[in-house]
Amino acid sequence: MAKKDRMSGNEAVAYAIKQINPDVMPAFPITPSTEIPQMVSTYIANGEIDTEFIPVESEHSSMSATIGAEAAGARSLTATSSCGLALMWEELLLAASNRMPVVLALVNRTLSGPININCDHSDAMGARDTGWIQIYAESNQEAYDNFIQAYPIAEDPRVHLPVMICQDGFITSHAVMNIELLEDKEVKDFVGTYRPEEYLLNPGNPMAVGPYSVSNYAMEARRNQELALEASKDVIIEVAKKYKELSGRGFELFEEYRTEDADYIMLIMGSAAGTAKQAVDDLRAQGKKVGVLKLRVFRPFPAEEIAKALKNCKAAAIMDRTESYNGHGGPLASEVQAGLYREKIMIETICYTYGLAGRDFTVDHVYEIFGELEDCAENGTKYEQHRYIGLR
């Protein structure tokens, strides 16, 4: 039975960790994710869970210790943001290539420089090609729900890859919202007991973790990672269906909001999807056929599925909360357009960069973007394909 509460996004993730009661959590503090290990360590100190908390000297060490604990057979996790994730760069690759089903709570914050502690997606997008599954939350509720689904996805034998559960720094991590929590037993039964097939502390079955791989084997290992990432799509959907049976809340690779007959669609990730939905409701009341496609799962990237969801619209806005410095848009823009091309779907697209380093993104901005899409499709007006929203 659901329990109603009010929580920040960080509180919600920490509470999910408490309910799961993982074996080991190494962590190093960094704004705006610091509250998560702080709250978990408080649960431990109060005797509410028996997770082994390891204070380490850096984020590189926290991911290294997480990998070591997982390799030893312990269900493990950590949390970080921004430069902390960047400092883990080497270890992120090792976690994925060693097929460790660890979970990382990432509270998205812009990467330096200039130094700034507010939200954008440059940290997670910088790690997009490290082999991790990446799942994004629009709200505190989704941050909680996504975290509970993370271990069943990561630990599935078809996957065995690490999962990054992302939420927007301060916007959801510190803002308090109404939330529905599951009962502790429901969460424990859903997540289950971790029973690794192979692990270091198994004296009857010696193994090596992270040995040198000669050229005859390394390429095959990379291909197997890719195949596992592709297989994780089905697992993510399967786990979401089971979670809906438990919670009543449904999830897919992405959410389509009022897109059935939409001429113009905005594709966006994270908390800004709520702003876009409000603007869509306003414009629908004026007779405008507009909709939002909110991407939940960025890795594995659902290129074919997105292309099919966009094929009947006249124009789409692709929204990136980061900059790729490639001259034509962010990573979401590049991958969506490539997917459209491969599926031979030739619709108008405009790539927008918004919300960098916490810059406000408002319903007025969304009105403006949908106006440009309509002008582009109906009047043939040519717009710059790499546009910044809210730039001074």
- Whole-number Å distance between alpha carbons of 237 and 13: 21
Per-residue pLDDT tens digits for 271-313:
999 999 999 999 999 999 999 999 999 999 999 999 999 999 9
Regarding whether 263 and 233 lie in a shared domain, the answer is: no
* CATH number, domain with residue 145: 3.40.50.970
pLDDT of 255 above 70: yes
Mean pLDDT along residues 150-158: 98
Name the residue range of residue 197's domain: 3-247
Regarding whether 343 and 324 lie in a shared domain, the answer is: yes
Regarding whether 32 and 149 lie in a shared domain, the answer is: yes
**Chain centre distance of CA 276:** 18
Predicted confidence at residue 25, as pLDDT, reads 98
Predicted confidence at residue 265, as pLDDT, reads 98
Mean pLDDT along residues 158-168: 98
User: Which tokens is 152 given?
Assistant: 């069943």
Regarding whether 152 and 68 lie in a shared domain, the answer is: yes
Predicted confidence at residue 328, as pLDDT, reads 87
* CATH number, domain with residue 310: 3.40.50.920
Confidence of residue 2 (pLDDT cuts 50, 70, 90): confident
Regarding whether 98 and 166 lie in a shared domain, the answer is: yes
Predicted confidence at residue 376, as pLDDT, reads 96
Per-residue pLDDT tens digits for 191-243:
999 999 999 999 889 888 888 999 999 999 999 999 999 999 999 999 999 99
Q: How many CA atoms lie within 13 A of 183 on its CB side?
A: 6
Q: Which of the listed residues 197, 229, 247 is the one where a domain comes to its end?
A: 247
User: Is residue 372 within a helix (H) or strand (E), and if so which, with residue range?
Assistant: helix 363-379
Predicted confidence at residue 113, as pLDDT, reads 86
Regarding whether 228 and 130 lie in a shared domain, the answer is: yes
Predicted confidence at residue 56, as pLDDT, reads 98
Q: Which of the listed residues 205, 221, 247 is the one where a domain comes to its end?
A: 247
Per-residue pLDDT tens digits for 132-151:
999 999 999 999 999 999 99
Q: 184-191 and 9-20 are packed helices; what angle lies between their axes, rounded to 10 degrees? A: 70
Confidence of residue 253 (pLDDT cuts 50, 70, 90): very high
- Whole-number Å distance between alpha carbons of 38 and 51: 13
Regarding whether 282 and 202 lie in a shared domain, the answer is: no
Regarding whether 271 and 229 lie in a shared domain, the answer is: no
Predicted confidence at residue 184, as pLDDT, reads 97
Confidence of residue 346 (pLDDT cuts 50, 70, 90): very high
Regarding whether 308 and 235 lie in a shared domain, the answer is: no
Q: Which of the listed residues 229, 247, 265 is the one where a domain comes to its end?
A: 247
Which runs of consecutive H residues, i.e. helices, occur in 248-354?
272-285, 303-310, 331-342
Mean pLDDT along residues 109-115: 94
What SS3 state is found at 40?
helix
Mean pLDDT along residues 121-128: 98
Regarding whether 167 and 107 lie in a shared domain, the answer is: yes
- Whole-number Å distance between alpha carbons of 31 and 240: 30
Regarding whether 275 and 232 lie in a shared domain, the answer is: no
In the chain, the amino acid numbered 120 is D
Mean pLDDT along residues 46-73: 98
Per-residue pLDDT tens digits for 347-359:
999 999 999 999 9
Confidence of residue 1 (pLDDT cuts 50, 70, 90): low
- Average pLDDT over the chain, rounded to whole? 97
Count of domains for the chain: 2
- Whole-number Å distance between alpha carbons of 136 and 143: 8
Regarding whether 263 and 118 lie in a shared domain, the answer is: no
- b/e per residue 254-281 (b: at least 16 CB within 10 A): bbebbbeebbbbbbbbbbbbbbbbebbe
